[in-house]
Amino acid sequence: MSPVVGAGTVEYEWMTWPEIAAAAAANAPVVIAVGSTEQHGPHLPVSADWVVPQALLRLAAQRRSFVVGPPVRLGYRSRPASGGGQQFPGTLSLRATTFIAMLEDLLEELIRTGFRRIVLYSWHFENANFVYEPAYLVSGRCPDVKIVVVENGMPDFADADLDVLFPDGFPGLALEHAAVIETSLFEYLRPATVRMDRIVDDAPARHVPWDVLPIDPSMSTPTGVLASATQATVAKGELLTERIVDHIVSILDGEFPALDRASMLLSTDEGR
């Protein structure tokens, strides 16, 4: 039986070691969703920042061949102005040095396995820069390996899409925490996990382009939602999914020559 999960997706976590070795030998790209475990309001699970990108990668892998890698479930510290902040129970964060070291080890292990085309696809806003650093360090030691670092998993949305998604105006990605985008994606991709009766709109008392320590509660909200979540819909989630999957595929098409799916699956079959 081929290591296929749903419509031809090749997923690392469900592959055997010979299948993984064969995919690497076939020069398949491997894409790692780099997320976090972070509060996402009273209506979304704390797994949002790795569950959503992993689901999007699975859909992208139905359109072109790559290995959907194991998601990174822990990320850098949550901040009040973009993730609600470390004061919320349930958020599990890593310090920068631990996070960087973990990704550095992960990259080296993938390279040891034989992968030479790697994408780090980050969803958690606060991971920015800390995803690039381990990739830079590993690249210096392994210049024959191409590592693509995607620190913003969102595409640039067309004005027509923004009008549909945010008819009252786009608040910006930082404030879109547990709000329209993530709630709509969950309603479309993982509807059974959304606590529909707990969806709320909220807004911080102050929103400034800097951080304050000790944590200033007025820069976050009591619910952890930083903007409107009640305006989320399944239809918006479908639109977002289409645009983001297009974005993922365009990155892979632009950076790596396409690998024929049949050849990749045949290679993994032969590897057993």
pTM over the 0.85 mark: yes
Catalytic position from the list 11, 19, 43, 49: 49
Counting the structural domains of the chain, the total is: 1
pLDDT confidence bin for 56, thresholds 50/70/90: very high
CATH number, residue 152: 3.40.50.10310
Selection from 91, 183, 76 nearest residue 134 by Cα:
76
pLDDT value for 270: 52
pLDDT confidence bin for 259, thresholds 50/70/90: low
Q: Which residue has the higher pLDDT, 47 or 267?
A: 47
215 neighbors 67 (Cβ within 8 angstroms): no
Catalytic position from the list 11, 19, 176, 182: 182
272 within some domain? no
Task: Summarize pLDDT for 107-123 with one digit per residue, the tens.
Answer: 999 999 999 999 999 99
User: How would you label 61-87 residue by residue, b for 16+ Cβ within 10 Å and e otherwise?
Assistant: bebbbbbbbbbbbbbbbbbbbbbbbee
Catalytic position from the list 19, 176, 177, 202: 177
Whether the pLDDT of residue 268 is over 60: the answer is no
Catalytic position from the list 11, 43, 124, 247: 124
Catalytic position from the list 11, 19, 38, 202: 38
Respond yes or no: is residue 211 known to be catalytic.
no
Residue 213 to residue 186: CA distance in whole angstroms:
32
pLDDT value for 1: 32
pLDDT value for 2: 38
Catalytic position from the list 11, 40, 176, 202: 40
24 within some domain? yes
Respond yes or no: is residue 182 known to be catalytic.
yes
Contacts of 253 (CB under 8 A, 6+ apart): 64
90 within some domain? yes
HEC sequence for the chain: CCCEECCCEEEHHHCCHHHHHHHHHCCCCEEEEECCECCECCCECCCHHHHHHHHHHHHHCCCCCCEECCCECCEECCCHHHHCCCCCCCCEEECHHHHHHHHHHHHHHHHHHCCCEEEEEECCHHHCCCCHHHHHHHHHHCCCCEEEEECCCCCCCCHHHHHHHCCCCCCCCCCCCCCHHHHHHHHHHCHHHCCHHHCCECCCCCCCCCCCCCCCHHHCCCCCCCCECCCCCHHHHHHHHHHHHHHHHHHHHHHCCCCCHHHHHHHHHHCC
Respond yes or no: is residue 126 known to be catalytic.
yes
Whether the pLDDT of residue 212 is over 70: the answer is yes
Of 71-75, 92-96, 209-213, the poorest mean pLDDT is in: 209-213
Catalytic position from the list 11, 19, 43, 126: 126
Q: Which residues span the domain enclosing 79?
A: 4-265
Task: Summarize pLDDT for 136-160 with one digit per residue, the tens.
Answer: 999 999 999 999 999 999 999 999 9
pLDDT value for 166: 97
Q: Residue 163: how many CB atoms within 10 A of its CB? A: 12
pLDDT value for 19: 95
Mean pLDDT score of the chain, rounded to an integer?
Answer: 92
